[in-house]
Amino acid sequence: MPRYRLIVAYDGTDFHGWQRQTGVDGGPLRTVQWCLEQAVVGAIRHAVPVVGASRTDAGVHAEGQVASFAVPVDVPAARLAAALNSRLPRDIQVRAASRVPDSFDPISDCDTKRYRYALRDGCRHGMRAHPFESRYVTEVVHDLDVGAMQSAAPALVGRHDFKGLAGQTEQKATTVRTIHACDVVRSADGVVRVSVQGDGFLYNMVRIIVGTLVEIGRGRLEAGIVPRILATGNRELAGPTMPPEGLCLEWIHYPREALEGAATSMAATEPVA
């Protein structure tokens, strides 16, 4: 069946995460996957699963989530994004849609992901972050030494066992991952941003990495703790899991061969309205 790739952005605040879920009453919870699948039904008249590359948690945002689905009809990819967006809530947007090879798998085919975490420090004595930041920036009471955080970050780069910097890893075949880059910067607006890029991530791994760097930045942990956490796999040595609102999935990259062979848009056998 023809397969299509979507690049999706969403504000995760009011969602129960990416993955389709059922509530206690037996009805569907408001998740990004469920909303996209409903939009596909409305636009193409076929109920099909929409598979996402990353199962973001409740409250986590995305600028470049990747999802795909296959339908038993050819649809004009050039019109697909607009057709879906007209049926989606305002906190989800399909930024682009394209035809991809039938074999494309958004999970196993990706080779690199990049997450960004935003936080504002020194939020004490009533000096909170700006209201417009509240959905996307995590407040930290303590002042952070960004230099100390920067000195600790390079130890995360490389291929390591990240068991000590993740939660609920028992379902994974391996806890070894490769981190290509980890950067900590304080922007001109005062927000501290931690960017982590790698071939894949364990559950809560980025939020725990940031929590560990925050503890280093406030002086509660030494920068040298990172190699020890990696060597021992001891989760108790690491920092806390940071709240979800500061985390955003920036982009997901695929090798060219995974995307090659996509056919150009063809006349649809059924309308995309």
Q: Please confirm, yes or no, whether 57 is among the known catalytic residues.
A: yes
CA distance to 54, 64, 97, 111, per residue, from 258 (Å): 17, 17, 15, 10
Whose CA is closest to 13, among 66, 45, 68, 60?
A: 60
Distance from C-alpha of 141 to C-alpha of 122, rounded to nearest angstrom: 5
CA distance 206 to 228: 18
Q: With left for phi above 0 and alpha for psi between -120 and 50, is residue 265 left, alpha or beta?
A: beta
Contact 44, 79 (CB under 8 A): no
* Cα four-point dihedral sign 253, 109, 55, 229: negative
What is the maximal distance between C-alpha atoms in the chain?
63
90 CB neighbour count, 10 Å cutoff: 7
| Closest-CA residue to 166 (of 233, 228, 119) | 233
Which residue of the set 11, 14, 25, 57 is catalytic? 57
- Distance, in Å, from the CA atom of 60 to the CA atom of 91, rounded to the nearest integer, reads 12
Active site residues: 57
